[in-house]
Structure 1
Amino acid sequence: MKGVEIRIRQQKGMVTLELEGELDFSNVEQLQQEIQRHPEEVVEIDLQGLLFIDSSGAGMLLSQARYLYRQGRTLRIVNIPDFIREDLEMIGFFKVLEILESNPNA
């Protein structure tokens, strides 16, 4: 695996973390720490440059969505490549996000 590179763009009330490479068990902690160290109300994860995500990457994104929702904050996932979107849909990723949005304490 080649790893993940995270580029950070900040604006008032929002931070965007642009991912490039592969998000897997070997580097999910790196992204989790980056998400948690930003106090902005909206944390946006831009997956446009992502080549691969495994179940630990998807699970970490869901746990961080829950973490932020409980604080009254938002995790947004944008620019998802079609091949990654298909994998995430298959495991029910977006259904879990919908549940979190309608019930942040879930």
Structure 2
Amino acid sequence: MDKRDLFNALDTFSQDLMQTLAEVESIKIHLQELAQENTALRLENDKLRERLFQEESSVEVSKKRQRNTSVIEKNYDEGFHICKDFFGQRRDNDEPCLMCLEVIYREDV
């Protein structure tokens, strides 16, 4: 192989190497973008899971409160006080008790 062919081969190899290096750099940039997007999505996913857990907990508390309220209302309808002052005592002639009604209908804030 003469010098000219050797230099041509070396030049071709150098150009191929530069092109490969440019492709590797492009892949590296794309990988960095994907890693950043992945991190952002993981953070968003964690926040959504936390929000979902809070919503599910809120629904469970609401259901439990509804069950408790229905039991309390049933006792009141059967003629018993459910207020803290007279709890468990019979209501005279099933007369309404404002304190009991407040317990049934109050809104927890």
> What band does the TM-score fall into relative to the shorter chain?
under 0.3
Normalised by the length of structure 1, the TM-score is 0.21
Select the structure of larger CA radius of gyration: 2
Normalised by the length of structure 2, the TM-score is 0.20
Q: Which structure is higher in RCO with an 8 Å CA cutoff and minimum separation 6?
A: 1
Higher helix share: 2
